[in-house]
Amino acid sequence: MPGTPRTVTKLIEVLSSWLPSLRTRFVLLVAGLFVALSVVMIMVASYLDLKDEEQRVVSDARAIGATVSRLAVPHLTNHHYLILEQELESIAASGVVELAQVLDPARAVTIDSDPATSYFDDLETLPLVQMAFDTGIEQTHQSRKGVEIALPVRDMKDDQVLGVAYVSVTRTSVDGILFAIWGRNIVITLVLLVFCVPVTFHFAENFVRPIKELTQTAHTVSAGNFDAPFPVERTDEIGVLARAYRDMVATIRNNMARIHELAYVDPVTRLPNRESFRQHFNGNMTAPDGKPNRMSVLFVDLDRFKRINDSYGHDHGDALLKEVAARLRGLLNTVCHPLETAIGSGSTADAVGHGPAGLSPLVARLGGDEFAIVMPEGKSATDIRTLAEDLVQCVEQPLEISGLTMAVGASIGVSTYPDDGEDYTAILKNADIAMYAAKRTGGNRACFYNEIESDTRARERIRLEAELKTALLRDEIRIVFQPKIDCASMKVVGAEVLARWDHPERGMLAPGCFIDVAEESGLIAKLGDRVMELACLQGRAWLDRGRSMPIAVNVSIRQLEKPGFTARVLEILNFTGFPAELLQFEVTETVAMADPEGVSQTTKPLLEAGITFAIDDFGTGYSSLAHLQRLPFNTFKIDRSFISRLAADHHSRSIVQTIIAMAKSLNYEVVAEGVETEEQHVFLKEHGCTTAQGFLFARPMPADRFESWSRGFLQPLPSAADRGNTGRTGSHFAA
């Protein structure tokens, strides 16, 4: 507490540790206040009683003095000194009066209550007596020992002063008075304390009880039970606190439900997402007896979906995905619970949620146009094959989307746990391989992983994987550069690096021939490191020749996920001497949005080193502006599918304009991919696109050709008539 001495603060801390109970603290606080008030009361009462005692002694002395004065009148008048002396001695015998005297000034006689003296004795006149006689008024003197009063003795008839009466009254000692007063008040305080402590305990119990109830409710909520009741019916402060706590818990519950939905539910189809599917699979891998549960995973990929998505837009694509998801879920429900479906008992979600053998079948959307289904042991291989064929037939039925009739197919790959893999990753990868095998044979069919081992193309894929490993060891990977052109100045402002495989038998292979194999086999990290190293070495060589060329390199999700990626990048930059500020990483929008937090954490040290980042294929994913602001990107690369339809599709033009406008508002650069016509270039330039790349300017080329080409690039673009004479678009700049 501010202003509190450290010693007092320490004492409070010690007492708080000793007295954890709120009720005990409350009782002790009340008792302490009571004791403190009692001490103050005793002190005040003692002071007042002491004053009263002093006033009483003075009053007694004055009363005795008045009595002595009245008694002395007749005796002084008649000079009956002996009788007066006897009366004074009797007054002093009471023990209250220490000394009583009467002065007869006319005869200079002093009569007192002391038996040892006589009125014949020549006694000295007391100063107080003399003062009373001289002034004719009462004189009082107080001391610690007693009270002295001298009163003139007057003749009532003629008001003549006959003499002076003197009384000395002994006062009880202050210590004795205080002891008596304190003793009395302490007894009263103890009686009141004995009465008040039980009352205080009772009151404290009633006071603390609602707080204890609220605390128990809080513990119940913290244990996960958000339906615990709160004492909201109270009208006091506890009720206000309970209502505030209830509202807070309701908000937390809603937020947790929302977080759970974002983490485990696909926002488009409302199906479980990839993470939910993974947890479901991993949670059902082992039976209670420790043996593995047999499960089949069906990997479903839609055929011709991209064509529909590109032609009609993402809204129609999302609507199609929703319809396909409903069909898959409905079919799975029918297969697993035909009786319940026939009589209409329970919802689809409820029916699918309970499978045979205690395991639950589940359909999920993994991303894009990919779905996955896990089926428990209760289904035989024949049942799974029948289900896969039914799924193909279910999906290929025409769909009505916004008044349009659309048709897609489904290529399905099936793998079985534990026969086809030891964990979730292996099972899903093998189901994916089986799905690609189905696509290679025309699609719209199902293929089992255990049946493609003898397939020629499967063996080819395995052989290609082995050859790719050898290619990395033999340094058969090459890179080519596709230039980036400033739309306004028409200067070469950078280049995108693309990988090529110089195969000893097949010649130069494009990435489409081996990237999938690299991804599935885990070789993509080594391949990406090699491409990055070659790109930085060439960039450094150009820099040494006086040419500063920004270079963009594509990065896959597997590279970002691999531990040590950041350290490896910085190591390559340090080894090659290529400046980090000239290096840009291109990450696809789908990858960036799949795990924004992970991407942000991975890229943060690279961003601090000076590396820039671009979102590749922007517009094809589901970007969130909130996520974009937290991610380290500073460049949008508009997907080539939008650029290719600029001339014929109004929606594509609107999308491109919107992306450019959004990039400007976020202070991003914009790169348009796939520019092949002058009309596309003019449109992009007029609407503020920063940079373009495509066959209009040049095809990807090796470093030496890129260098010579870029030196002679700044020439006027050919007119439409000239391009017509050449017989191909952009041939003036094509490599």
DSSP state of 270: -
Whole-number average pLDDT of the chain = 79
The token pair that represents 715 in the structure block: 């020439």
pLDDT score for 579: 94
- Residue 306: name the closest of 406, 389, 434 by CA: 406
**655 — pLDDT class (breaks 50, 70, 90):** confident
pLDDT at 284: 86
Residue 629's pLDDT band, with cuts at 50, 70 and 90, is low
DSSP state of 451: G
| Residue that the structure tokens 């974002």 belong to | 262
pLDDT, tens digit, 9 for 90 and up, residues 122-166: 778 888 888 888 888 888 888 878 888 998 988 777 778 888 888
Angstrom distance (rounded) from CA 282 to CA 263: 17
Place of tokens 């009066």: 97
**pLDDT one-digit tens code per residue, 472-481:** 888 999 999 9
Q: How confident is the model at residue 531 (pLDDT cuts 50, 70, 90)?
A: very high
Q: What is the pLDDT of residue 625?
A: 57
**pLDDT above 90 (res 365):** yes
CATH architecture of 475-726: Alpha-Beta Barrel (3.20)
Choice among 105-114, 218-227, 438-447 with the minimum mean pLDDT: 218-227
Q: Which of 217, 75, 233, 99 is nearest to 167 (CA)?
A: 99
Q: Give residue for tokens 């003095």.
A: 65
Burial of 591 (0-12, 13-18, 19+ CB in 10 A): buried
Query: What is d(CA 284, CA 376) in angstroms, rounded to the nearest whole number?
Result: 9
Determine the Cα–Cα distance for residues 309 and 617; give it in Å rounded to an integer.
14
CB 475 within 8 A of CB 534: no
Q: What is the pLDDT of residue 533?
A: 94
State pLDDT tens for residues 385-397: 888 899 999 998 8
Note the pLDDT of residue 540. 94
Return the closest-CA partner of residue 592 out of 602, 605, 577. Answer: 602
First to last CA, the chain: 77
Cα separation values, 364 from 368, 447, 590, Å: 12, 19, 18
**Contact call for residues 691 and 492 (beta carbons, < 8 A):** no
pLDDT-derived band at 412, boundaries 50, 70, 90: very high
Mean pLDDT value across residues 538-552: 93
Find the Cα–Cα–Cα–Cα dihedral 187, 192, 198, 202, rounded to 10°.
Answer: -160
Segment 357-364 shows an average pLDDT of 71
pLDDT-based confidence at residue 174 (cuts at 50, 70, 90):
low
Rounded Cα distance between 627 and 630, Å, is: 5
Mean of the pLDDT values across residues 677-690? 90
pLDDT of residue 734: 31
pLDDT, one tens digit per residue, over 319-351 is: 999 999 999 998 888 876 543 333 333 333 333
DSSP string, 182-228: HHHHHHHHHHHHHHHHHHHHHHHHHHHHHHHHHHHHHHHHHTT-TT-
**Alpha-carbon dihedral angle through residues 242, 243, 248, 254, given to the nearest 10 degrees:** 120
Q: Which fold has domain 274-454?
A: Alpha-Beta Plaits (3.30.70)
Place of tokens 């937090």: 597
| 303-316 per-position pLDDT tens digit | 888 878 777 888 88
How is residue 118 written in tokens?
Answer: 């006589």
Would you state the pLDDT for residue 502?
92
pLDDT at 603: 81
What is the tens place of the pLDDT at every residue in 17-33?
A: 555 566 666 667 777 77
Q: Which long-range contacts (CB under 8 A, 24 or more apart) does 646-653 make?
A: 646/679, 646/680, 646/683, 647/677, 647/679, 647/680, 651/313, 653/683
The residue-averaged pLDDT of 606-633 equals 72
Angle, helix 596-609 to helix 565-576, in steps of 10 degrees? 20
Match 């048709």 to its residue by tokens: 407
Q: Tell me how far apart the alpha carbons of residues 466 and 445 are, in angstroms, rounded to a whole number.
A: 28
Q: How confident is the model at residue 647 (pLDDT cuts 50, 70, 90)?
A: confident
pLDDT of residue 574: 93
pLDDT value of residue 457: 60
The angle that helices 314-336 and 381-396 make with each other, rounded to 10 degrees, is: 140
pLDDT at 497: 95
What's the confidence (pLDDT) of residue 297?
93
Half-sphere exposure of 364 (CA within 13 A, CB side): 23
Q: Residue 732: what pLDDT?
A: 28
Q: Which residue has the tokens 């006959």?
A: 162
Cα distances (angstroms) measured from residue 131 to each of 108, 139, 141: 15, 7, 11
State the burial class of residue 712 (Cβ atoms within 10 Å of its Cβ: 0-12, 13-18, 19+): exposed
Burial of 19 (0-12, 13-18, 19+ CB in 10 A): middle
CB 137 within 8 A of CB 130: no
- pLDDT, tens only, 69-81: 888 888 887 878 8
Q: Please count the other Cβ atoms lying within 10 Å of the Cβ belonging to residue 576.
A: 19
Q: pLDDT-derived band of residue 372, with 50, 70 and 90 as boundaries?
A: very high
Q: What is the mean pLDDT of residues 260-271?
A: 85
**What backbone phi and psi angles, to 5 degrees, belong to 436?**
-65, -35
Amino acid at 643: I
Report the percent of the chain where pLDDT is more than 90. 18
Among 222, 223, 240, 219, smallest CA distance to 231 is for 240
pLDDT at 731: 29
Q: Is the pLDDT of residue 355 over 70?
A: no
Higher pLDDT, 317 or 178: 317
pLDDT of residue 339: 36
Mean per-residue pLDDT, 681-708: 91
pLDDT exceeds cutoff 90 at 537: yes
pLDDT (tens digit, 9 = 90+) per residue, 439-469? 877 788 899 988 875 455 656 777 788 888 8
β-strand 691-692 against 477-486: which pairing, if any?
A: antiparallel
The dihedral region occupied by 730, where left means phi > 0, alpha psi between -120 and 50, and beta the remainder, is left
Degrees (nearest 5) of the Cα angle 248, 251, 255? Answer: 140
pLDDT band at 621 (very low <50, low <70, confident <90, very high): low
CA quadruple 616, 619, 624, 628: dihedral sign? positive
| Predicted pLDDT at 594 | 60
Residue 223 has pLDDT above 80, yes or no: no
Angle of helix 22-78 relative to helix 174-222, nearest 10 degrees, comes to: 160
pLDDT band of 541, cuts 50, 70, 90: very high
Least-confidence region, from 190-194, 346-350, 562-566: 346-350
CATH architecture of 21-227: 2-Layer Sandwich (3.30)
Which pLDDT belongs to residue 720?
A: 39
Q: Are 635 and 668 in contact (CB under 8 A)?
A: yes
Position 535 pLDDT exceeds 90:
yes
**Confidence check: pLDDT of 558 > 50:** yes
Q: Residue 226: its pLDDT value, please?
A: 66
Compute the radius of gyration of the chain from its Cα atoms. Answer: 53
pTM, two decimal places = 0.42
Q: How far is the C-alpha of 120 from the C-alpha of 139, rounded, in Å?
A: 26
Residue 228 confidence (pLDDT) above 90: no
For residue range 467-514, list pLDDT tens digits in order: 888 888 889 999 999 999 999 889 999 999 999 999 988 889 988 888
